[in-house]
Structure 1
Amino acid sequence: MQEQGQIHFPVVDFHCDALSKMAEEPSIHFKGDHRLDVTGERLLEGGVGLQCFAIYLSQKWGKPRFEQVLRQIEKFRGGVANTGGLRPLRWREEAAGLAGVLNDGPGWGMLSLEGADGLEGNLFYAELIFELGVRFLGLTWNYANWAADGVLEKRNGGFTEKGRELVEWCNGSGMLLDVSHLSEAGFWELAELSKRPIIASHSNARSICAHPRNLTDDQIRAVIGMDGRMGLTFVPWFVTDRKEVVPEDLLRHIEHVCTLGGEKHLMFGSDFDGIDSWIKGLEHPGHYPSFAELLLRHYSEESVKGWLHGNAVIYLASNLPSAPKVE
């Protein structure tokens, strides 16, 4: 639990993979089960007022199917929102009031889809997950699918015709778009196609750590230029190539993005439950308060609050779709 006197700013975390773990092993529970990094208790301990839950279909499950997407949505609705008391975030009107309530009572959860593979090339399925509360879409995981190439696909292709149709549908519906796993060619094509600011929900700076999942300086500048957001991630091998990684190692990524003009565009996307090794001292959401104290030793309170929640909340309040009017 929170130590007496510890800084406890509210937090928005833009990426975790708890749902895929829960789908793979039905005995895992969101409350009190430390087979998960992200649990209801740890979100409360860390002051995480909004956690984004990715729907990720593991390659080891075989051919991606829409049924697997629906199963994780049901895990969120029943096993996370109901059991954990999290309120689903769907509309900009809800996001507009977040800043004042992130520390009050039960937190919020938001759904994302990590890779369009499970939509099976069917835009009706995209419409359906939108109706069920999914609000941002990572078009690929690391490899090619029916929509586009992922960042580890050697040919580095962009979008297919069906992929461009999906982007057009997202532009019209208000589904936000995430570039964290997209190929570089796809990134630049999406930067032209997207009518809303894009996000990189869980990526770091490639100039600091030369992993292909991290963004180049030109990509970071493009996200900033669109008034998008970049969620620095706690994946150790995206932070540094040293064997033991500590929270201080993230400061180099923060500094670098800020030198590119991104102070107001930074947020965090931990990737908890998507990793099997951790930054020492940042092993689960309950450690966010000590991370906030580290940040405050180096940066202003205004900047730290922005990175922990403010920049993300402003983005969501500006870019989520508006709730339909009740006649």
Structure 2
Amino acid sequence: MIDFHCDTLTKVLNERKRISSHDLANWGIRGQVFAVFMDPVYRKNFSVKAMEMIEAFYSEIEADENLLLAKSCEDFVKAMEDDKVACMLSIEGGEALEGSLSLLRIYYRLGVRALTLTWNGRNEIADGIGEEAGGGLTRFGKSVVKEMNRLGMLVDVSHLSVKGFWDVLEISSTPVIASHSNCKALCSHKRNLSDDQMKVLAQCGGVMGITYADLFLNEGKAQFEDVIKHIDYAVNCIGIDHVALGSDYDGCSFPEDMDIEDIKKIPTLLKERFGYSDEDVDKIMYKNWLRIIKDVVG
């Protein structure tokens, strides 16, 4: 599988956690997108912390010969063929740009291929979903989306305000993603997407990654079964070509009966309980991410 969101780099930087290709492969993960999470505690040091986390990421890649730096779809395919784990960088929170398109271009040169425009709060790009005002893209935010389109970076609308979401879908010339968001129809948490949002995301060629976050599955009372329910609901709402996985591992609490290794059960449960074909399961587990990476990043 390809998992499009984890917060492991925060623990690598702050808690000396290691990234293990053995563990990832054991969980069934052959492609992992690592988020450079801009925690609000960093305040005026966002770009410094982003660089420190990126450096930590590269150190981990260099220390494990079975981790492969991924900057393109071809890199993911090569990792799978060589029995390695592809590792791609994203940034979670446009605070890392500090209002500068030059920094965006520098991050791209360093291998960052996706940007979650906001976390929950407000930054120079837009309001996050946690802001009562719920403002959309600023003038700078619009220039960021356009520059990401030009560079070939995936615009990520998870955490973004509702107004910001619609602004992005109107402006972006390439498909966008919601790397770790669930279905509001099943769980009314404000971080989740409405049916209308999901449908427009799909109509524009985008992909949403179902997350295992307890709060976004069933308001903090979730079971592993809720992950399967959100996947199936999303597929029925927007189609098999637009649903994938974005765990939020190391950044959230999982359902009380779920362990990270349970992700290996997802294919069997989808087949046995909902009649999914092998091809449909493959799309959810990795092919949909590969498709949009190829379409946008190259």
User: Is the CA contact (8 Å cut-off) linking 1:64 and 1:117 kept in structure 2?
Assistant: no
Shift of 1:82: 3.4
DSSP 3-state at the match of 2:247:
coil
Distance 1:301 1:44 in 2: 20
- Matches of residues 1-327 of structure 1 in structure 2 within 5 Å? 11-25=1-15, 27-31=16-20, 40-83=21-64, 85-95=66-76, 97=77, 102=80, 104-241=82-219, 243=221, 245-275=222-252, 277-284=253-260, 286-298=261-273, 299-321=276-298
DSSP 3-state at the match of 1:109:
strand
TM-score (norm. length: structure 1): 0.86
Distance 1:274 1:183 in 2: 20
RMSD: 1.7
Shift of 1:255: 2.5
Deviation per CA, 1:63-115: give whole Å up to 9, x if none.
Answer: 342111111111111124533631111124435x35xx526422100100101
Distance 1:144 1:43 in 2: 33
Distance 1:272 1:15 in 2: 7
Deviation per CA, 1:171-224: give whole Å up to 9, x if none.
Answer: 111111000011000000000111110000000000110000000111000111
Distance 1:71 1:242 in 2: 32
Structure 1, unaligned stretches of length 5 or more?
A: 1-10, 32-39, 322-327
Q: What is the identity, as a one-letter code, of the residue corresponding to 1:157?
A: G
User: Is the CA contact (8 Å cut-off) linking 1:19 and 1:76 kept in structure 2?
Assistant: yes
Shift of 1:154: 0.5
Q: What is the identity, as a one-letter code, of the residue corresponding to 1:278?
A: F
Q: What is the identity, as a one-letter code, of the residue corresponding to 2:70?
A: L
Q: Is the helix fraction higher in 1 or 2? A: 2
User: Is the CA contact (8 Å cut-off) linking 1:86 and 1:109 kept in structure 2?
Assistant: yes
Distance 2:292 2:127 in 1: 26
Identity of aligned residues (%): 35
Structure 2, unaligned stretches of length 5 or more?
A: none
Aligned residues between the structures: 296
Q: What is the identity, as a one-letter code, of the residue corresponding to 2:167?
A: E
TM-score (norm. length: structure 2): 0.94
Q: What is the identity, as a one-letter code, of the residue corresponding to 2:254?
A: W
Q: Structure 1 stretches (4+) deviating beyond 4 angstroms?
A: none
